[in-house]
Chain A
Amino acid sequence: MPVPVVEFSDERLANGLRLIVVEDHLAPVVAVNVWYNVGSKHEEPGKTGFAHLFEHVMFQGSAHVGKAEHMALVQGAGGTLNGTTWLDRTNYFETLPSHQLELALWLEADRMGTLLDALSQENLDNQREVVKNEKRWSYDNRPYGSWNEKILGHLFPDGHPYHHPTIGSMADLDAASVEDVKAFFATYYAPNNAVLSIVGDCDRGTVRALAEKYFGPIASNPSIPPLPDMSLPAVLGTEIRETVEDRVPLPRVYIGFRAPAFGDHRLDALDLASQLLSGGKGSRLHRRLVRDERLAQDVAVFTLPFVGGASVCIGWATVRPGVDVATVERAYLEELERLATEVPSDDELDRAKALTEADELGALARVEERADRLSMFATLCDDPALINTLLPRYLAVTGEQIRDVARLVFRDDNRVVLTYVPKPAGDAAASGEAAA
């Protein structure tokens, strides 16, 4: 079952903007996707959450586009759009009927070139409040909502750019100023720090000319500061444990590990290991903890790939009513350790690969996903061809490689164990903003 090869062009405009184009005329739709090589890892102390707040400001207008008009124009053209921020990057994307391609290019170029022309204290203050409500909604007022911040905070030492969460702290969000926006924009939002991927019902030559027309006049920034050295030991060196009282009825154990960086072949094996452990009903953790021994309500294992020093592998199990938390943790870790000692059977591995292959087929069928992957691989690995080579890499992983990476990662001196327990009755103070 071959996944079709994605044929793409890859070039740079004179100002450094990397342009990747895929023609696919199957449906009358086109995806426009911009990745900026800036994320929360670029934030300075005291300015956590700024990269994401800045992303919101990118929707507040530019020289020729009014506040919130970006959304109105794209949706009014029958398109969908969004933007997201993560540790390594910030991305912006639109999917539109193909005859509206030029609109998206114009909008992206206008804010890349002239965002500051429309910047106002009022709009910054408004989006600061929106983002604070996003933080409350996604983290503070959500059961177990602090796990992400706590696990990354333990897996990466204080001072490491991955130590703090992308959403930032309330205090730092409050402190963000118009001057910060100007400096951040001037430093990072330059064409030579961006990848523009266009996938869908378009003509490569026309796209090249349009990219030149809209983005060509934007000058590059020759002095983007390099990141500090982000390397760190492959393993944590010790087990870190924390117990968190939260407004939850059931305990949940989160377990996080340091893992090989994005691009490292061992991470491919670890992704397949995650599939063997928790991918569906037949997976090991699900079968043992949820089905056979009925210790857990649900289980998960997944990797979060990062390029700077280490990725992370995180999992959890929600403890069934009346079950001892320690019993769940022990069973969970036993399954991880079993993977580190025994080579999985060919049948088990083949099933995991068949699912991975089908998932890829489904994901790459959508122009939006293809464009995002191309931008991602170009930005993070300088290798957009990974869109075609990563799946064969997965399919070539051996049982021995899975065992070896499990042995490398699932060590007791390489893990954070975060246990959420119900807050004792009568203690009314909510977990939440105090954590920020």
Chain B
Amino acid sequence: MSHRGELVAERPVPGTPRPYEFPHTVRTTLPNGLEVVVTPMPERELIAASFAIRAGAADEPDAVGGATVLAARGLTEGTELRDAIALTEAAERLGASLHAEAGWDATSAGLDVPASRLAAAMELLAEVVRRPAFPESEVERMRDERLTDLIQARSDPRRRADEAYVSSIYAPSSPYHRPAGGTAETVATLTSAELRAVHDRAYAPARSALIVAGDVDADVVLRAAEALFGDWTGGPSADAAPIDDTSAVTGRFVRVVHRPGAVQTEIRVGHPGLTRRHPDFHAVSVMGAILGGLFNSRLNMNLREEKGYTYGASAGFDMRRGRGPFTARAAVNTEVTIPALGEFLRELDRIRQDPVSDAELRAARDFLVGVFPLRFETPGPVAGALAGLFVHRLPHDELARYRDAIEAATAEDVLRVAREHIHPDRTAIILVGDHDAFAGALEAEHLGPIEVIRDPEPVQVAPGAADEQAGPVDAVDGGPTEGAEDPDLPGTEDPSDPGSDAADDVAGIGTGA
């Protein structure tokens, strides 16, 4: 290329890092037990306000599976003071999108709002949390929407794989065996009364925190919180019962969900992992980054950059109050399904055999430490992380000590936690794809018992037939803990939704799929 000049050959050395600390946070507990957590962030004009309750889908009785998630959605569907539309319009006039959701560990309601309108927005937040009406007609509609969503999930290979995976790795006694949003059988029975029961049983000031981050005065927020929530009493303060996270994986086995003609196979490999409060959290974060979190992780470099089997291969731990799943995953073209599966199992073995290299260790630690200030550039993620601390009852200095704890992880730690928390001989293997294309090759691998599931072809269902067609599929995740302490930070985003305006992203950096 004659028209190109001489470029600088040497990689530049970094400058001096500007010191960074997680922003100073003010915590106050009101007499009724409500924690008020405020993080002033000067010049951040869009305020994040979040109300987190330690009441998750894992806390509900099996018979009403999905009630917690539906109740959370129901918070913004009408209060004692106004119906859903009036509520939405009131929020919109403030420039605020009011939302509420529940996951396994917690329920949260929140909004982002310009600072000048925070006071009015907090009133709305208090109204939906304290005085939801759960109108029967809205509950019925939400229930039907959930049932319809379950039907749709069956036809999406990704969601079908996730559903088959969790129902394979957890014992039926565990709530994690089913979707957080409930199954068709349980959701179909839910009425306004069950949602009100969730509210009565689980929403209480002593199990809740109001978290506000942005350009705010902590005293002003505290006074508003006292005015809005100070007279809220009653409800339980005791913790819910321990979560049953019993594993169903005692050896290695394969489940194939047959999709005739599928051009890709969705692969899931793994087993129950560990809780968020496990003392190995930081070492596992480093190990997970090396195995399947970074773009240059072992799995992604092997399956994508060397073999070209996939748009992205990853692995990670979903750490909940109970032992959430450890999952290795990729979508591979049908012809390479069995070779790709072999590479997954090889990498899960290899991370347990020898210490990781110095370069791998440094890359993972430097990423996790270095990306920390980027994560907390704006109020939303700050509030999210603080909600995570509250939900998991983590110490107040958890975020402040995060980087030191990551830096302290050694190659020996990584090897130890890999051996302790990854079990290639005790894994479920889920394949959603064209079984006819790889049946022989799969059997020849002798990976363990093979079960083939043949879903009925999707056909358009008649009204009222929804519950016969639907199966348990998990559509619900998140909650206030999302994004707070992921050990595989880059591994969660959907790299290329064709509905977005940025099509065809390179890299699916550490893509979650």
Contacts and interface: CB of A to CB of B under 8 A. Distances in A.
Interface string A186-215: 100000000000000100000000000110
Given A71-B507, A106-B8, A354-B94, A27 B373 contact: yes
A413 to B, nearest CB: 26
Given A71-B296, A297-B152, A136 B17 contact: no
A354 B331 CA distance: 41
Interface stretch (B52-60, B387-395, B458-466): B458-466
B359 to A, nearest CB: 9
Nearest to A57: B506
A82 B505 contact: yes
A398 interface: no
A117 to B, nearest CB: 8
B263 A140 contact: yes
Contacts of B33: none
B242 interface: no
Interface stretch (B61-69, B227-235, B244-252, B305-313): B305-313
A322 interface: yes
Given A78-B369, A249-B461, A141 B264 contact: yes
B46 A64 contact: no
Contacts of B19: 28
Interface stretch (A224-232, A234-242, A382-390, A428-436): A428-436
Contact of B460 (A26, A28, A249): A249
Contact of A354 (B10, B43, B92): B92
A372 to B, nearest CB: 9
A421 B458 CA distance: 10
Contacts of A220: 3
A181 interface: no
A167 B311 CA distance: 13
Contact of B371 (A80, A148, A281): A80
A84 B307 CA distance: 22
A136 to B, nearest CB: 5
A292 B311 CA distance: 41
B509 A28 contact: no
B458 A422 contact: yes
Given A28-B18, A97-B374, A362-B378, A429 B502 contact: no
B15 interface: yes
Report which residue of B259, B458, B490 has the largest number of chain A beta carbons within 10 angstroms of its beta carbon. B458
Nearest to B462: A322
A328 to B, nearest CB: 13
Given A109-B8, A217-B5, A304-B501, A28 B17 contact: yes
Contacts of B8: 106, 109, 213-214
A433 B89 CA distance: 45
B308 A125 contact: yes
Interface in A113-157: 113-114, 116, 125-134, 136-143, 145, 147-148
Interface residues on A, range: 35 or more
Given A136-B264, A321-B466, A358-B114, A130 B311 contact: yes
Nearest to A353: B95
A250 B306 contact: no
B311 A137 contact: yes
A321 B264 contact: no
A128 to B, nearest CB: 7
Interface string B23-45: 00000000000000000001111
Interface in B112-132: 112-114, 116-117
A423 B97 CA distance: 38
Interface string B278-309: 00000000000000001110000100111111
B17 A281 contact: no
A139 B495 CA distance: 12
Given A75-B367, A76-B366, A136 B11 contact: no
B332 interface: yes
Interface string B144-156: 1100110110111
Nearest to A103: B12
A95 interface: yes
A254 to B, nearest CB: 11
Contacts of A82: 505-507, 509
A357 B95 contact: yes
Nearest to A222: B3
B188 interface: no
Nearest to A351: B92
A81 interface: yes
A287 interface: yes
B241 interface: no
Interface in A344-385: 347, 350-352, 354-355, 357-358, 361-362, 365-367
Contacts of B369: 78
B5 A428 contact: no
A49 to B, nearest CB: 9
B503 interface: yes
A429 B261 contact: yes
A63 B9 contact: yes
Contacts of B295: 68, 71-72, 75
A425 B15 CA distance: 63
A96 B374 CA distance: 7
A302 to B, nearest CB: 8
Contacts of A109: 7-8
Interface in B444-470: 457-466, 469
Nearest to A28: B18
A101 B14 CA distance: 8
Interface of A: 1, 4, 26-29, 52, 55-56, 58-59, 63-64, 67-68, 71-73, 75-86, 95-103, 105-106, 109-110, 113-114, 116, 125-134, 136-143, 145, 147-148, 166-167, 186, 201, 213-214, 216-221, 247-251, 280-282, 287, 290-291, 294, 297, 300, 302, 304-305, 318, 320-323, 347, 350-352, 354-355, 357-358, 361-362, 365-367, 421-430, 432-433
18 contacts: A55-B506, A59-B506, A84-B503, A84-B505, A84-B506, A98-B18, A110-B7, A114-B1, A133-B308, A133-B310, A143-B152, A281-B84, A287-B85, A354-B95, A365-B44, A366-B378, A422-B459, A427-B457
Given A280-B88, A429-B260, A430-B259, 11 more contacts: A1-B114, A79-B371, A86-B503, A106-B8, A140-B264, A167-B503, A218-B4, A219-B4, A249-B469, A305-B501, A352-B92
Those 10 A-B pairs whose CB atoms lie nearest each other, nearest first: A78-B370, A129-B308, A217-B5, A322-B463, A430-B261, A358-B95, A249-B458, A99-B15, A351-B92, A83-B506
